[in-house]
Amino acid sequence: MWSVKTKDWAAGRRWAKRNAVACPGVIYAIRQDGREVSYRYEDGLIYCTGSSKQMKPYRPGFAHLRKKNEFIPISNIGH
C-alpha cells in the first residue's frame, strides 16, 4: 500500500485515484488529521474505503479525457 499525508484533501484524492487507475491492484491511501481514504482499481472498478464510510465499487469516469465546452452557445448577439 502506498500512502501519503496531505494538507490538501482534494489534491490527495486526485493523486490516489489517478495512481490507482494507473497501477491496478495497488492500494493508494491518503491521510489528514485522523481521516484516511484508500483507493484500489481492479477489474474495471474503483474500490474506495475510508474511516468515514465505505463506498460501493464504481467505474471511474474518464471525463477529464473528453473535451468540454467545444462549442459555447452565445446568446443575445447584437442586442
Determine if the pTM surpasses 0.95.
no
pLDDT, position 26: 94
Query: Is the per-residue pLDDT at 79 higher than 60?
Result: no
pLDDT, position 65: 46
Neighbours of 59 (CB within 10 A): 8
Interval 10-49: pLDDT, tens:
899 899 999 999 999 999 999 988 888 999 999 989 999 9
Query: Is the per-residue pLDDT at 59 higher than 90?
Result: no
Query: Is the per-residue pLDDT at 78 higher than 70?
Result: no
Question: Can you list the pairs that 38-47 forms with residues at least 24 positions away whose Cβ atoms lie under 8 Å?
Answer: 38/1, 38/3, 39/13, 46/17, 46/20, 46/21
Written as one string, the DSSP assignment of 33-46 is TTEEEEEEEETTEE
Does residue 3 or residue 38 have the better pLDDT? 38
